[in-house]
A and B are shown apart, each in its own frame.
Chain A
């Protein structure tokens, strides 16, 4: 093999890339190091970050003093149920718009399209009044219901369904396949990539949702991670070690899932972003 000389351009590129990558992870590495420093011990010099004492007491402390495991569970539960509902409800509606022609088609479709322009942040007050009147503040329902009828998801799927070959439907119709069966037996299995993309996008969105849970949830046992952590950490202003341990605990599941499904997640995000 010919030994290729490394070009100066390549060296510069590596230098820049490694520098940026370090800049990007340094705060996360610091978070992990500090989380293992005994509470109250000095983190005042760079050397102290890397030298003992280290201990896992902060982790025990967080697990004992805050329902973090419950918050992780709440987040997982809410995001999972939301995702399932979005996929089911949106694909049903998308199929109706893709295959059906019925009175009211245009008006219903345009009313839903208009919803694309409404930011969730613009309806916080009436949504709060509605859930209070329903007696559903501080509930999973409050966290799930407002984010399941998403015009974005419906339109994304409709576009995908529109692109499926027409012959398939015609053949199925001749074989006497009914509308519902057509959706579940033909369309959905062929749309796995679009459903996966929308599912990942929805799950991430629900996982990271902040402002509405922040308003509608005040009971610590119904909190999700984005609400629970600030609630807990606000008591430890002067100490960095305990909040960092809490941050590590709630980030680990997300990072592990991300590492396992990295390819699918990145594909799902770019598919939803570009097609939507």
Chain B
């Protein structure tokens, strides 16, 4: 057999795999890689909505570093991560521990805590805007029943707006963390608890010495996913507070959206997207390092 025939035969064997890869790879290139590269290019241009463009070098990036709104949006995003991640992880674990107990109506409790996660953000935001609203909003009406004389304007004060945004996020998304933790809890063998009980450990001690260490892998995973999700915070905040009052809850994705699709300044918006991407990449790398060291 000569060389070309051998090569031909070999490539015939590879052929089916390339065919199987083709749909994935072509859509991946067109809707992921190409936009990723295109976005990088756009970030160096003054790119108008109708396609007129002028190369401006690093100007878009430099302008951002002089833009106070960019800094405040980035800071709000980081603040949201710092406030929401511990809460969502701990409450997720707490709810999982509750529904893991052999309670009557266990299924109903699990259902109740998980159901918000299947609702769309539009419904969540609309319901919570009404819950937090004044003049007939649910929260204020209940507070009035207990003797409050004035409505609390939840969304008019930066601190209260932040509390609202975090409560809405907790209510909407914690069910996901709960389910991951529940799967982790179910994997802990009962014998471990049995043995601890024989050794005279109380509930708290077996929680600290058995439950927490057994859940280490799940905790890393939940934290990792939650950090990334919290960095991407946008929709519920935008729909409930529109970033207000006075921009005090504006996050980085909202600013990317506003610059790109309200002002139609594609260049600066792309530059910001790339900075966001870079931040997220660094954060993921750090988390990856930590989880590798721990396991």
Contacts of B218 in A (CB 8 A): 274
Q: What are the 3 A-B residue pairs with the smallest beta carbon separation, nearest first? A: A100-B17, A229-B122, A93-B24
Q: Does A20 make an interface contact (CB < 8 A)?
A: yes
Residues of B151-204 contacting chain A, CB below 8 A = 171, 176, 179-180, 182-183, 203
What's the interface size class on B, roughly?
35 or more
B235 touches A96 (CB 8 A): no
Which residue of chain A has its CB nearest to the CB of B40? Answer: A126
With A149-B27, A270-B179 in contact, is A119–B232 under 8 Å at CB?
yes
Specify which chain B residues have a CB less than 8 angstroms from the CB of A128 in the assembled complex: 260-261
CB of B35 within 8 Å of the partner chain: yes
A129-B266, A247-B126, A273-B179 given as contacts; is B274 within 8 A of A122 (CB)?
Answer: yes
Looking at the complex, which of B65-73, B80-88, B127-135 is the stretch in contact with chain A? B127-135
Question: Once bound together, how far apart are the Cα atoms of A44 and B235, in whole Å?
Answer: 29
- Chain B interface (Cβ < 8 Å from any Cβ of A): 14, 16-18, 20-21, 23-25, 27-28, 30-36, 38-39, 42, 95, 98, 101, 103, 108-116, 118-123, 125-128, 130-131, 133, 135-138, 141-142, 144-145, 171, 176, 179-180, 182-183, 203, 218, 221, 225, 228, 231-232, 234-235, 239, 253, 256-257, 260-261, 266, 269-270, 273-274, 276-277, 280-281, 284
Given A43-B141, A102-B17, A111 contacting B33 (CB threshold 8 A):
yes
CA distance A258 to B32 in the complex (A): 31
Inside 8 A of A259's CB, which chain B residues have their CB? 111
Q: How far is the CA of A117 from the CA of B183 in the complex (A)?
A: 25
Out of A34, A95, A230, name the residue touching B125 (CB < 8 Å): A230
Contact call A92/B28, Cβ cutoff below 8 A:
no
Q: What's the nearest-Cβ distance from chain A to residue B21, in Å? A: 5
Q: With an 8 A cutoff between CB atoms, is A262 at the interface?
A: yes
With A46-B141, A230-B239 known to touch, is A240 a contact of B253 (CB < 8 Å)? no
The answer on a CB contact under 8 Å between A204 and B118 is: yes
Bound CA span A92–B23, Å: 8
Contacts A118-B277, A233-B126, A247-B127 given: A127-B35 contact, CB under 8 Å? yes
For A28, what are the chain B residues with a Cβ–Cβ distance below 8 Å?
115-116, 127
Task: Please tell me if the beta carbons of A121 and B145 are within 8 angstroms of each other in the complex.
Answer: no
Interface size of A by CB at 8 A reads: 93
Residues of A146-187 contacting chain B, CB below 8 A: 146, 148-149, 151, 154, 178-180, 183
Besides A270-B180, A274-B183, 13 more A-B contacts (Cβ < 8 Å) are A20-B113, A89-B24, A100-B17, A118-B32, A121-B256, A122-B280, A124-B273, A128-B260, A148-B27, A149-B28, A247-B123, A259-B111, A266-B114
Q: Give the residue of B17, B113, B138, B239 whose beta carbon is less than 8 angstroms from that of A26.
A: B138
* Distance to closest chain B CB from A65 (angstroms): 16
User: At the interface with chain B, which of A56-64, A188-196, A205-213?
Assistant: A205-213
Q: Are A179 and B180 in contact (CB under 8 A)?
A: no
Least CB separation from B14: chain A residue: A102
Chain B residues lying within 8 Å of A228, measured Cβ to Cβ, are 122
Question: Which of B39, B118, B144 is within 8 Å of A123, CB to CB?
Answer: B39
Q: Mark A246-258, 1 if CB is under 8 A from B, else 0.
A: 1100110011001
- With both chains docked as a complex, state the minimum distance between the C-beta of B10 and any C-beta of chain A, in angstroms: 9
Residues of A19-46 at the interface with B, using a CB-CB cut-off of 8 Å, are 20-21, 24-28, 30-31, 34, 42-46
In the complex the two chains form, is A180's CB within 8 Å of B16's CB?
A: yes
Contact of B18 among A102, A180, A255 (CB under 8 A): A102
> Closest residue to B268 on the A side, CB-wise?
A125
* A221 close to chain B: CB less than 8 A: no
26 A-B interface contacts by CB (under 8 A): A14-B103, A27-B127, A89-B24, A89-B27, A96-B20, A102-B14, A111-B33, A122-B276, A123-B35, A125-B270, A126-B34, A127-B35, A145-B31, A149-B25, A149-B32, A180-B16, A211-B234, A214-B235, A225-B122, A229-B120, A233-B126, A247-B123, A255-B118, A258-B118, A273-B179, A273-B225
